[in-house]
Structures are given as structure tokens and as C-alpha cells.
Amino acid sequence: MADKKRKVNTKFDPVREAALQALVLIEQGQQTDEAISTVCEGKEFRQLDNRFIMQLVNGTVKMRRRIDYEVKFYLARPAKDLPILLQNIIRLGYFQLKFTDRIPDAAAVNESVNLAHHLLDKRRANLVNAVLRASIREPEKVVYSSAKDDPAKHLADFYSYPDFFVKYAIREFGLEDTEKLLIYYNQSPHVTYRVNYLLAKPEEVLEMLDAQKVTYSVGKFLPEFIHIESGGLPLEEELVRTGKVFVQDEAAGLATRLLNPRPGSTVVDLTAAPGGKATHIATKMRNKGRVTAIDKSHKRLELLVENCKRLGIKIIAPIISDMNMFEGGLFDRVLLDPPCTGWGTAGKHSDLRWSKTSEDTKTLINIQAKMIDHAAKLVKPGGVLVYSTCTIIRDENDQIVEEFIIRNQKFEIESASEFFSDEIVNSRGFVRTYPAVDKLDGAFCARLRRKPE
């Protein structure tokens, strides 16, 4: 009874508790956005609180490996042997101490101890206090492996990534560019707005942002994209909710530009929900023609329909179907954005680096090969197929397309140089963006034309 009374009277921060509960859900398999939505549901947090929760959760998840590596120097036993709640209280507190610059050390320690008192017991609260205070008092206790003797392990521990990804990146990009990539992904991501030409013009949106003194930059390759550099979702009510803009990374828009859909044409997006690319396509078509949007998730297609209503789009026809089972005739344009490892978006999806394994690529390339073969059957003679991913893993990109061309003599590669500068078009005519170089998500897309009969 006394213990219950003590826990009830313990002062604790409900915002940090929400972040903690989200960390536990993520470790149990939920995606970050889903976990944050779950713990915030029904709670009347301010917008500032919601942003703080996102900062704490995304940051702690990203830096999980480094935090666990450093914390072990202040523990008598491995962190993995601690109960999941205690382990994540320590992680959350340690992240605030070492990776934020606006939270005083005393606040980071005290709030973590309070959470342990409230959710666990005095003995474990004392452990949290001891670990965090020792990390402040004795930072020199943390020692990393030699960057010269084992560069992959050093980078993986220090920047907090799985070994297999760091090793792949070193083979693909070299040591120096790999480190730049890892650093870039650990930065706080910024939002990008895509102007919806059906309801607004870029100049109008820029004027509204200027009036609010919002810091931004215009898209590097697509002028309808605006990168918000000051953080948050500025003018959310006036711009996002009215459909004048859609939140989407510029890299995701490259496939639509490469597809080059024309007003009055027929297009199918084979993995369409929740509708980022499909709505971009419909906008490019000026709401004239037909965009068939395929997805096997009813829930995600409902999001697509909601997005269409908000954006004023009337030419998208959603169809619930596995794309490999879809046989809806021939189309002028076919877009295939298959499931991929997503390593081009690791800066925005903090749990990705811990939910993906090296085996995922092997599984996915078989799925991707099957999907592109089926997509090809839906292209009219003279029509165009665009294959697009949000990963930087070559096996899921170049290799899929090159092997497809060998199997399908009716198709040929059309260089993307007609649509983009050589800055992002390689010698084979494929579009490739690299986050640390282009300051966009990593993306790949290839334009394939079916030869006329």
C-alpha cells in the first residue's frame, strides 16, 4: 500500500513518459510513427510537446547502438540484461545528456530518475541516477575501437548503425563518403512541401512563407518542391490542411517527372497508397485523364482517397488488389515503386536501421524482379514504365533493371538526361540521388520504354 502511494505521489514528466513508452513499443516491433501515435492518443499534449516527443524518440532510436555502447562503461553488467523499461529509461536520459544542447544535465538526470521512481522502484531509480551522473563525471571512461584497425566497427559503434550497412556503404562509396552519409542520416530531418498546382502556385506559397519569416529553399531539381529549413510544419492549417501543399520529399517526386505523364493519358501506379506519387502524377496531368491507383491495403487506400479530396484531385481511381494479380488492360504510363529496404530514407525513419537485416535485400530482389516483370505486361506498345525505389542499395536498383532488360527484349532504357542534369543521371541513364551529396532522400528511378510493334 505504501509503495502504491509513493508511486502515485512521485512527480514525473508525462511527455517524457510518452516518449519512453514509444521506445518500448518500437523495440517490441512497432514503427516509430505508429508507436508515437499510440502513446499520444487521447492525451492533450501541446504542439510543442508533440515535437519534443518526436525529437526524443527519433533521436534515441537512431543513437541506440552508440548509447548502449557507451552506457556499458558505467554498468556492472551488460545493458541487454536489464529489464526493457529500465534499459530505455537509461537510453532516454543518456540521449538527453549527450545528444541535445537545450536540456540541462540536471533536468535530464532528475526527470529520468523520476520516471524510474514512478514506473519501477527506488533501487532501480538509484541505478539510473548512478549511471547518468557517472557519465557526466567520467566521460573519459568511454573508449572506442581503433578507426584504423577496424573502421567498419568503429563507424557502426560511433554513429550507431548495423554492421552490415556500414560494411556495404564502405564497399560502395569508400570510407570518407560513408562517414558523411552516416553523419547526414543522424541529423534532424526537415520537412519538404510539394506545391499542388491545382490549388496554388509556388509564388503564392513562397509569399505566405516569407510573411511568416520561414526559412526555406526551393527544390534543387523540381521547382514545385520547397524545403522547410526552420523546422516544424509552418502554416499547417493554411497550406497542408487546405491542400495547397503536400508533404513529400523532393527525391520522391523525381519518378513522376521521369514518368512525364500527359493530360488525358492513362496511368497506373501499382503500389499507390497513401498517394504521394499518384497525386503528384494527377497534378501533372492537370486533372485530365485517368490514374488507376493499386494497393492491397484498404486502410492505406482510404488515406489516398482522403488526400485526393484535400488536394482537389478527381481522376484517381483506387483499386484494392495485389499488383501481381492486377490485369486491368494496357496503359500509356506505368509506375512501379516496389517494396524496398528503404535505406535512402534512413534519416527520416529512425527504426529502419534496427528493423532491416542483410537478408531483407536478398528476399526483396526476388519480389522486385517478379513485380517489374508483371508491370511490363501492363505497358502499351510505345508506352513507358518507370521503376522507382527509395533505397541506395545497388542490388535493388541497377541490377533489377539490367536483368529485366535482358529478360524483356521488348523494352529499352531511355536516358533520364532528357529530364534531369547529369548531376543525378549516371552513365546508364538512371536517376540516383545520394543524401550526403544532394541533401535529399536517397532515390533511384529508371525510365523504360516498350518498343512500338
Q: For 92, what's the count of Cα atoms within 13 Å in the CB-facing half-sphere?
A: 32
Q: For the chain, what is the largest distance between any 2 Cα atoms, rounded to a whole number of angstroms?
A: 84
Candidates 40, 308, 390, 445; catalytic one: 390
Q: What is the radius of gyration, based on Cα positions, of the chain?
A: 24
Cell of 362: 536478398
**Residue 304 near residue 318 (C-beta atoms within 8 A):** yes
Q: Identify the burial level of 180 via C-beta atoms within 10 angstroms of its C-beta, where 0-12 means exposed, 13-18 middle and 19 or more buried.
A: middle
Distance (Å, rounded) from C-alpha 58 to C-alpha 347?
Answer: 10
Asked if 40 is an active-site residue, the reply is no
Rounded (10°) angle between helices 122-137 and 105-119:
160
Distance (Å, rounded) from C-alpha 233 to C-alpha 182?
Answer: 25
CB within 8 A of 324, min separation 6: which ones? Answer: 370, 371, 374
How many other C-beta atoms lie within 10 A of the C-beta of residue 120? 17
**Sequence-ordered alpha helix ranges (H) in 268-392:** 276-284, 298-311, 352-355, 358-376
Q: Identify the burial level of 164 via C-beta atoms within 10 angstroms of its C-beta, where 0-12 means exposed, 13-18 middle and 19 or more buried.
A: middle
Q: What angle do CA 450, 444, 387 make, to 5 degrees?
A: 30
Catalytic residues: 390
